[in-house]
Amino acid sequence: MRPERETERIGAHAASAPPGAPRPRDPAYAIYTSGSTGRPKGVVVPHEAVVRLVRGTDYVRIGPDDTVAQLANPAFDASTFEIWGALLNGARLVPIPKATAIAPRAFAAAIARERITTLFVTTALFDAIARETPAAFAPCRTVLFGGEAVTPRRVADVLRAGPPARLLHVYGPTEATTFATWQDVRSVPENAMTVPIGRAIANAEVYVLRPDGEPAAPGEPGEIGIAGTGLALHYLGASEREDARFVVARVGGLPPRRLYLTGDRARWRDDGAIEFLGRDDGQVKVRGVRIELREVEGAIARHPGVREVAATLHGETSDTRRIVAYVVAANPSAPPPADLRRTLRQVLPTPMFPAEIVWIPGLPLNASGKVDRRALPSVDASPVAASGIPVPPRDPLETDLVRRFEEALGRRGIGIHDRFFELGGHSLLAARFADDYERETGIRLPLTAMFVDDSVAGLAQAIRIGSLSAHADVAPLHPRGTRLPFVYVHGDFMAGGFHSHALARQLGPDQPVYVVHPHGLADRSIPTTIEAMAADRLRALRALCPHGPYVVGGHCNGAFVAFELARLLLGEGERVPAVIVVDAVAPGVSAGLDPDGTGASAVLAELGFGAPTDRMNDLAHRLYRAMRDYRGRPLDVHLVIVRSAESNASAHDESWRSLARSAELQVLPGDHVTLVTEAGGERFASVIRGVIDRATARGDAA
């Protein structure tokens, strides 16, 4: 609004305030927020919420000797803090023009010239200033920043260059009147993925809630719920569905209270601070795997050649759905860093790997100073923007494989060194690719070949030398490590167990890992019993790692083979300090199994993979029958039962306990798939490390 142009309209209104003093719960203003749907919603805020934000607070002190900068557009809720923080505390308010605010050096000069003491900046603006003039905030008493996920490296830059007296990371939705939590930032660990949002401000209550509405345990992800006098009254003219975000509920046995359910995800840290994990709508699902785009962005942002990054999901179907990363180089005048993809390969599991990396001059911002993802350039299914100039095929075989890669992935411009999974391929798409290749050429292309090398050049070389049938049933990863070996039966008979690479990386280079593939991935001969499967894989394992001790583990159906493998090793005089069974039904308990294998179609459809091939259905049929018939016998071992928090097989835990000398239960966040993949893989790796550390301390590694 331009008041000088609205004289006539303004003159038609009353010249004095309405009679009577407003009550604390009376509406003070309505401010619009786009929300996750993009449709503006009017948030009606009461007087008491504004007072609670800037008077009698514990996170900031503003007095007559302060000068508060006004950077925010009055239509943005941060202006509530700026305007009323100054006016209700007798401070001086200095508007900063937008042109000055977005020019870091001019902004730094304005801070010094106007003697700004108190300042709020959006995270995007904070990052921009920290990049060019990290000492700009030094003259201030209090600098607050927030609004979206922060780049820890930029915060560290400010702390090193000369921080303000107090640097506060704040969080809060418009519906909770600007700020709900705060964290006084004094240091940032070198490898930090984020900066915590801290604890509730005065007169606010902040909860992290499980789906059932109960408080989440420390470390367990949940939704942020906010209570207290800062809550808005309602949405202006809202539908019942929109207002459903405001609820009255009991939390942890406390009396009923009014809550705003934010749709933001977080977890409590051990130090009592809250760590922000992103919005529920910032969590995407790619082929059955839940992925936090913020975690992808964090991994990319840690590369020294990267200034800014925004990750998005592209594609409508399960086969075309892929992550695209828009990246701004740290040095715009230099070529993009060539090692970015190689670095990411070391830290990101395959499902989280961006299929495309698009280099752009800068990230677009909206009027609120946040990244405008809808304004990012469109990405079609044509050129491969991820790996630089593609190396062309060198012979007819590579030419044919490039064509097949492009058809399967819906892409053009693929080179011989581009990798199937890094270009957006997934394990079920790889299975279909292999089936189609065998049907059309007569050459069997087992998934274990792609486990070793999923590039065009690697597959072509394997075909040339006729080594496809020789790919190991047991793959050694880090075999020269000095720790007690971990034998992992991944059980992924449909898709190849490609998450095992990420698991091995998370366990570290000093941890030997022997990945045992299930029957049917490479071999045509499939034993009919779990006992025979274990005996066959035992021979392959002993050829690579002749002697133990071994810690043996298995996921899903792989737990059956792992348990039987441990029995065979013990029978041959080897030591097995522990067996780890991961999210598996128990032997001898047929409930939940599918003796005809027909459930494979339903499972794959639920995960977004579409219909399984005939080969997958046949494998499911054979494996489920073997599992149904396996009984298992008690072993003189320590059993570690790892269960996902969303598991429907927890009733089997006591049956597992009866098969071991001793047992322990570890429940980890996630579902059956995410338990061993993406971020869940790190927690699973931590369990494995702990089991091996304890075995070593007992002397079992000697």
User: Which of these ranges, 5-19, 158-172, 543-557, 682-696, has the smallest mean pLDDT?
Assistant: 5-19
Q: What integer pLDDT is reported at residue 632 of this predicted model?
A: 86
Class of domain 22-278: alpha beta
pLDDT above 50 (res 385):
no
3-state DSSP: the chain helix, strand, coil percent, rounded to 5? 35, 20, 45
User: Which of these ranges, 115-119, 386-390, 455-459, 673-677, has the smallest mean pLDDT?
Assistant: 386-390
What's the distance, CA 391 to chain centroid? 32
The segment with the largest mean pLDDT, out of 336-340, 516-520, 550-554, is: 550-554
Average pLDDT over residues 299-319: 80
Q: Which helix (H) or strand (E) holds 628?
A: helix 614-629
Place 288 in a pLDDT band, splitting at 50, 70 and 90: very low
pLDDT above 90 (res 95):
yes
Q: Count other C-beta atoms under 10 Å from residue 275's C-beta.
A: 20
pLDDT above 60 (res 264):
yes
Residue ranges, comma separated, of all CATH 3.40.50.1820 domains in the chain are 472-697
- Give residue 276's region: left, alpha or beta (phi > 0; psi -120 to 50): beta
Q: What integer pLDDT is reported at residue 370 of this predicted model?
A: 73
pLDDT in tens, 620-635: 778 888 888 888 899 9
Average pLDDT over residues 263-287: 80
Round to whole Å and give the CA distance between 26 and 387. 58
Q: Which CATH number fits domain 396-449+451-464: 1.10.1200.10, 1.20.120.160, 3.30.160.250, 3.40.50.2300?
A: 1.10.1200.10
For 497, the 3-state DSSP assignment is coil
Q: What integer pLDDT is reported at residue 624 of this predicted model?
A: 80
Place 170 in a pLDDT band, splitting at 50, 70 and 90: very high
Average pLDDT over residues 14-33: 83
pLDDT above 70 (res 473):
yes
**Helix 614-629 × helix 599-607 angle, to 10°:** 120
Round to whole Å and give the CA distance between 41 and 30. 9
Place 591 in a pLDDT band, splitting at 50, 70 and 90: very low
The amino acid occupying position 450 is M
Average pLDDT over residues 536-561: 89
Average pLDDT over residues 121-149: 89
Average pLDDT over residues 387-398: 74
Q: Give me the architecture of the 472-697 domain, per CATH.
A: 3-Layer(aba) Sandwich (3.40)
- pTM equals 0.50
Q: What integer pLDDT is reported at residue 318 of this predicted model?
A: 47
Q: What integer pLDDT is reported at residue 410 of this predicted model?
A: 74
Contact 660, 577 (CB under 8 A): no
pLDDT in tens, 402-434: 888 888 877 778 888 888 877 777 666 777 787
- Beta strands of 163-256 (E only): which ranges? 166-171, 181-184, 199-200, 204-209, 222-228, 234-235, 246-249
Residue ranges, comma separated, of all CATH 3.40.50.12780 domains in the chain are 22-278
pLDDT in tens, 142-164: 999 998 778 888 999 999 998 99
- Pairing assessment for the beta strands 578-582 and 551-555 based on DSSP bridges: parallel
pLDDT above 90 (res 250):
no
Q: What is the 3-state secondary structure (H, E, C) of 59-77?
A: CCCCCCCCEEEECCCCCCC
Q: What integer pLDDT is reported at residue 387 of this predicted model?
A: 43
549: cis peptide before it, omega within 30°? yes
Q: Which two tokens stand for residue 164?
A: 């303000």
Q: How far is CA 461 from CA 396, 443, 449, 454, 545, in A?
A: 12, 14, 11, 11, 27
Residue ranges, comma separated, of all CATH 3.30.300.30 domains in the chain are 287-375
pLDDT above 80 (res 269):
yes
Q: What integer pLDDT is reported at residue 614 of this predicted model?
A: 63
Place 219 in a pLDDT band, splitting at 50, 70 and 90: confident
Name which of 33, 27, 51, 86 is nearest 204 in CA terms: 51
pLDDT above 50 (res 316):
yes
Average pLDDT over residues 57-72: 94
CATH topology for 287-375 is GMP Synthetase; Chain A, domain 3 (3.30.300)
For 393, the 3-state DSSP assignment is coil
Q: What integer pLDDT is reported at residue 134 of this predicted model?
A: 92
Q: What integer pLDDT is reported at residue 552 of this predicted model?
A: 95
pLDDT above 90 (res 480):
no
Order of strands, sheet of 578-582, starting from the edge strand that comes earlier in the sequence = 474-477, 513-516, 486-489, 551-555, 578-582, 635-644, 660-668
